[in-house]
Amino acid sequence: MDIILLLLCLAGAGHAHGDEGAPSKSTQPAKPLERIAPAAIRRHVEYLASPMLEGRGTPRGKQLAAEYIRRRFEELRLQPLFGAAGYFQEIPGAKTDEGQTSVMGRNIGACLPGSDPKLKDELIILSAHYDHLGVRRGKIYPGADDNAGSVAMMLEVARKFVESDVKPARTLVFLSCDLEENLLWGSRWFVAHPPRPLGQVKLFVTAEMIGRTLGDLPLGAIFVLGSEHGTGLKQVVDGVTTPAELKVAHLGIDLIGTRSDYGPFWNEKVPFLFFSGGEHPDYHQPTDTADRLDYMRAAHVSQLIFDVCQQVANVVEPPSWNDKPVHGLDEVRTLHRITELLLASDDAARTRGQAKLSNLQRFTVSNVHTRTAQMIERGEVRADERPWLIRSSQILLLTVF
């Protein structure tokens, strides 16, 4: 995860869509399904982030987490993803001195077969990594937001699919990768050893840190990255009705690069979506505890992800890879808003005699502010300006925050 998301969160990027109390979507079955409940998300997080699980980084803690997820899959009567091996995919480590191969970690996967005989060989994968940092210098790192919250999301989305009267046409795969915190080793192993051909995967969805907002600011932005690489994905996401307090903000994935389990799928040109709220002060700290999550927010994001998966699972034309995405003005507006807020907060600090930005920082920020204003006025970003945009985001990150 990246501090750029903090910037974007500061800016209140994106747009709200949907109205408070809007009726449920017309595509839903006759018997209206209840929305995913905050209490259901909380139950999973409180267990997965409890001290007993030792930050899901020790062998014992990871074992308990993996068993928990497998039991939920079994209760939902989802099929094991890895054939004879069941719900677990072992990730081998280095050979021992005796020539034995050690087990470094385990991915956990299950599937809900599609109901359409013609489409059931096409897969939508919903994933959330379950490992975290474990115990370091005697301190447990519970990883409640990173990433117990998203595992809870995945489990509740799975339940909703199972309990729905209308089964998805395509097959849904629920995947909890291990070793994300070790250079994405779990998802890399999965992509290198897929249980079914990767060409069958029409969409890969993953999420990180959906229960907090960056900087703990009272902003409801959920960042959605990657939609620019899959045909029709942005329209699907924007077509979902969300509560007024949850604002969807699309961002190009190149603004943050590879930060999570979508990376290996991106390399293989599998269309993907990454949902994240971004970093907060407790990110990768022992203080990332279950009591600090906003469960209503996590439930809203879970519902959004369910709706997106359901639509893509049933849509006639699934997303295909788009190598040359067109970026709109959303990101420019976001950057502009960020710099506006930065300059305003520096102005306020200077009137109190304590500048927030150095002169060089102020120059950089002002420059971005001015150039983004020009792009907005012109109504387009020229092709040669996008590399500048990416670089500017990174300079802002590195020098200002």
**Interaction site with Zn ion (CB under 5 A):** 146-147, 208
Angle, helices 38-48 vs 295-314, to 10°: value is 110
Least Cβ distance, residue 1 to Zn ion (angstroms): 7
Sequence-separated (6 or more) residues with CB below 8 Å from residue 287: 281
| The three-state (H, E, C) secondary structure of 252-279, written as one string | CHHHCCCCCCHHHHHHCCCCEEEEECCC
- Return the structure tokens found at 397: 């990150």
Please, what is the minimum distance in Å from the beta carbon of residue 118 to Zn ion?
Answer: 36
State both tokens at 34.
């209840």
The residue type at 131: D
- Closer residue to Zn ion, CB minimum distance, 147 or 242: 147
Tell me the closest approach of the beta carbon of residue 208 to Zn ion, in angstroms.
Answer: 5
Nearest residue (CB) to Zn ion, 161 versus 174: 174
- Residue number, 147 or 393, with CB nearest to Zn ion: 147
In angstroms, the CA 236 to CA 257 distance is: 23
Q: For residues 178 and 66, what is the distance between their CA atoms, to the nearest angstrom?
A: 9
Name which of 239 and 286 has its Cβ closer to Zn ion. 286
Nearest approach in angstroms of CB 35 to Zn ion is: 25
Beta strand pairing call for 134-136 and 139-141 = antiparallel
Shortest reach from residue 143's CB to Zn ion, in Å = 7
Shortest distance (Å) from residue 77 CB to Zn ion: 29
Give residues with Cβ within 8 angstroms of 291, minimum separation 6. Answer: none
Ranked by CB distance to Zn ion, the top (closest) residue is 146
Nearest-CA neighbor of 306 among 195, 198, 163? 163
Smallest gap, in angstroms, from Cβ of residue 146 to Zn ion?
A: 4
Nearest to 51 by CA among 150, 175, 172, 135: 135
At 3, is the secondary structure helix, strand, or coil? coil
Q: How far is the CB of 61 from Zn ion (least distance, A)?
A: 15
Q: Which residue lies nearer to Zn ion by CB, 146 or 346?
A: 146
Q: Closer to Zn ion at the Cβ: 146 or 228?
A: 146
Report the sign of the C-alpha dihedral through residues 107, 229, 168, 148, in that order: positive
Instruction: Report the b/e string of 198-237 with b at 16+ CB within 10 A.
Output: bebbbbbbbbbbbbbbbbeeebbbbbbbbbbbbbbbbebb
CB of 216 to Zn ion, least distance (A): 18
Nearer to Zn ion (CB atom), residue 208 or residue 307: 208
Cβ proximity to Zn ion: between 127 and 393 the closer is: 127
The letter for the amino acid at 354 is Q
Query: HSE of 77 in the Cβ direction (CA atoms, 13 Å)?
Result: 3
Residue 179 or 299: which CB sits closer to Zn ion?
179
Give every CB contact of residue 100 below 8 A, 6+ residues apart in sequence: none
Amino acid sitting at position 400 = V
